[in-house]
């Protein structure tokens, strides 16, 4: 198996790390990759993952047998459609199914068509209609940009001025939806799917806000845990029955099936689980905590997805817990500088801690430099999330560059009483 992984984030480093442990692998390539993935396989920094022609060319040159797509943008650019025409199997959806993530209007209509519990929503294209609606609305509402926005297209607020500014700005170039604000706690559930069958992976939760105590602006994600301690099997059964089964049934009816990962972003409300969104890929930073807990060989999982044999394949999952802390550039999620030297280059014990790079590069002298807003995810692994938390923060201490910062409370809201574990 010669695998090409598309992307450059810590999620793609985690995917690359897992493939690098596979006995099925005879070649590992990452486009464009980062300094961490470069230690495990061959980075192809000249290949733009969002340009299907460049991806196909790289596949031919390196005789790639399988492609694993990390982020959403290449999926929306139709990279899987083109790979499929070229006869190269890919883990990830074709463009039509990627719309489940790529358009909030499309996904909301899909949820309604298949009676999947979700917040009530209205679509707007005209500024005047939108303004009248907001002016007459009481309390908090949620505005969502229709298209992809890298985590920045959603505003939850009860401040009319803020809502109007945010929405009017979107309406200059695209549509939006305004939806009912739900309260509860959020979890992320990932399903592996081969297009006919699915298998659920352990439940994760991510920490989206920039500041301690889940305050401040939304980010791509400042940390994650897996599993979530109080989500038991009866909660999972309810989510499966009300949301997951109807989703896969709906996808079959509408020819939206694919081989890959489907992510359900859920709000657990007093009325039961409600679906906030679909993502058609692994989450970041959820992948960094989920993937280390998969004991099975990722090459074999890839085979089961591509060959549609997931019904007879049960991925082995570790009994451990994992917790990931994102180390970000000074200023993120606002403006930030890149090119800061990471010194010393972080090393980790692998067994109970991992450090995944995001968008780092290596210069000619072998120095590792930062290249993005979120720079590393430090993952601790242990018998429970408290132990995993301690190990993750030990790993954080080894990541040093000018301006580096992280949230210090990842996982904390799930620790009932620290002394009891
Ligand atoms: P989405 O991209 O749809 O997942 O939205 C991003 C984030 O906005 C979610 O993770 C939630 O924290 C928040 N959010 C989205 N929809 C709602 C809603 N209907 N009620 C409350 N919060 C929401
Ligand atoms: N962690 C949320 C996402 O990947 O979209």
Q: Point out which residues pair with 198 in neighbouring strands.
A: 193
- Across 272-287, average pLDDT: 97
The whole-number pLDDT of residue 348 equals: 80
- Please determine, for residue 197, whether its predicted confidence score (pLDDT) is greater than 70: yes
Q: Is residue 156 included in any domain, yes or no? A: yes
Cα separation, 168 vs 171, in Å, equals 5
* Assigned domain for 112 exists: no
- CA 43 – CA 33 distance, rounded (Å): 5
Atom of ligand 2 nearest to the CA of 265: 2
CATH code of the domain covering residue 411? 3.90.600.10
Find the ligand nearest to 261 CA. Answer: 2
Is residue 139 in some structural domain? yes
Pick the last residue of a domain from 312, 340, 366: 312
Nearest CA to ligand 2 atom 4: 283
Identify whether residues 395 and 378 lie together within a single domain: yes
The closest residue, in CA terms, to atom 3 on ligand 2 is 283
| Each residue's pLDDT tens digit, 363-388 | 999 999 999 999 999 999 999 999 99
Least confident of 134-138, 189-193, 291-295, 403-407: 134-138
Contact status, residue 223 vs residue 207, Cβ threshold 8 Å: yes
Residue 328 belongs to a domain: yes
Domain count, the chain: 4
User: Which token pair is 230?
Assistant: 């109080």
Cα of 116 vs centre of ligand 1, distance in Å, is: 16
Q: Closest Cα partner for 158 from 173, 191, 180?
A: 180
Nearest atom, ligand 1, residue 181 CA: 20
pLDDT at 109 over 70: yes
Q: Is 141 in the pocket of ligand 1 (CB under 6 A)?
A: no
| Ligand 2 pocket, CB under 6 A | 206, 221, 279, 283-284, 286
Query: Mean of the per-residue pLDDT values for the chain?
Result: 95
Residues ≥6 apart with Cβ < 8 Å to 228: 187, 203, 204, 205, 414
Q: In which band, very low, low, confident or very high, does the pLDDT at 417 lie, cut at 50, 70 and 90?
A: low
- Two tokens, residue 273: 């689980």
Q: Which of 63-67, 212-216, 330-334, 413-417 has the lowest mean pLDDT?
A: 413-417
Same domain, 15 and 80: yes
CB 352 within 8 Å of CB 256 = no
Q: How far apart are CA 20 and CA 356, in angstroms?
A: 14
CB atoms near residue 339 (< 10 Å): 11
pLDDT at 347: 83
178 lines ligand 1 (CB under 6 A): no
Find the CATH number of the domain harbouring 304: 3.30.470.20
Distance of CA 110 to the CA centre of its chain: 21
Nearest ligand to the C-alpha of residue 283?
2
Give me the pLDDT at residue 201, please: 98
The CA-atom distances, in angstroms, between 135 and each of 128, 141, 159, 160, 162 are 11, 12, 10, 7, 12
**Contact indicator for 369, 341 with CB cutoff of 8 Å:** yes
Ligand 2 nearest-atom number relative to CA 151: 5
Local structure of residue 221 (DSSP, 8 states)? -
CATH number at residue 131: 3.30.1490.20
Residue 344 structural domain = 321-417
**Cα separation, 246 vs 249, whole angstroms:** 5
| Secondary element (H or E) of residue 263 | strand 260-269
Q: Which atom of ligand 2 is nearest the CA belonging to 206?
A: 1
């Amino acid at each position: 198996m010669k695998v090409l992984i598309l992307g450059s984030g810590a999620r793609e480093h985690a995917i690359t790390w897992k493939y690098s442990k596979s006995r099925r692998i005879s070649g590992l390539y990452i486009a464009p990759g980062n300094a961490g993935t470069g230690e495990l396989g061959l980075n192809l920094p000249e290949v733009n993952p969002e340009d299907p022609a460049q991806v196909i060319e790289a596949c031919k040159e390196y005789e790639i047998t399988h492609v694993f797509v990390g982020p959403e943008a290449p999926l929306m650019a139709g990279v899987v459609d083109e790979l499929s025409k070229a006869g190269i199997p890919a883990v990830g959806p074709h463009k039509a199914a990627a719309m489940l993530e790529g358009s909030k209007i499309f996904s909301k209509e899909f949820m309604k068509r298949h009676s999947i519990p979700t917040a009530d929503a209205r679509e707007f294209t005209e500024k005047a209609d939108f303004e009248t609606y907001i002016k007459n609305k009481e309390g908090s509402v949620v505005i969502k940009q229709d298209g992809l926005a890298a985590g920045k297209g959603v505003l939850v607020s009860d401040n009319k001025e803020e809502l109007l500014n945010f929405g009017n700005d979107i309406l200059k170039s695209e549509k939006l939806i305004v939806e009912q604000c739900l309260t509860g706690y959020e979890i992320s559930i990932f399903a592996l799917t081969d297009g006919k069958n699915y298998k659920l992976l352990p439940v994760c939760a991510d920490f989206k806000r920039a500041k301690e105590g889940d305050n401040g602006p939304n980010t791509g994600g400042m940390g994650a845990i897996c599993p979530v301690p109080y989500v038991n099997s009866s909660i999972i059964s309810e989510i499966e029955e009300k949301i997951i089964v109807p989703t896969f049934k709906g996808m079959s009816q509408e020819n939206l099936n694919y081989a890959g990962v489907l992510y359900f972003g859920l709000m657990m409300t007093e009325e039961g689980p409600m679906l906030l969104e679909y993502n058609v890929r692994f989450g970041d930073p959820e992948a960094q905590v989920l993937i280390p807990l998969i004991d099975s060989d990722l090459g074999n999982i890839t085979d089961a997805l591509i060959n549609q044999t997931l019904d007879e394949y049960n991925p082995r999952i570790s009994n451990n817990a994992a917790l990931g802390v994102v180390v970000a550039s000074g200023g993120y999620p606002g403006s930030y500088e890149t090119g800061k030297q990471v010194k010393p280059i972080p090393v980790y014990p692998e067994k109970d801690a991992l450090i995944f790079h995001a968008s780092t590069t290596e210069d000619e002298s072998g120095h590792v430099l930062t290249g993005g807003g979120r720079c590393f995810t430090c993952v601790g692994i242990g018998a429970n999330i408290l132990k995993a938390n301690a190990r993750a923060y030990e790993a954080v201490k080894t990541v040093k560059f000018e301006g580096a910062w992280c949230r210090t409370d990842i996982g904390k809201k799930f620790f009932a009483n620290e002394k009891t574990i």
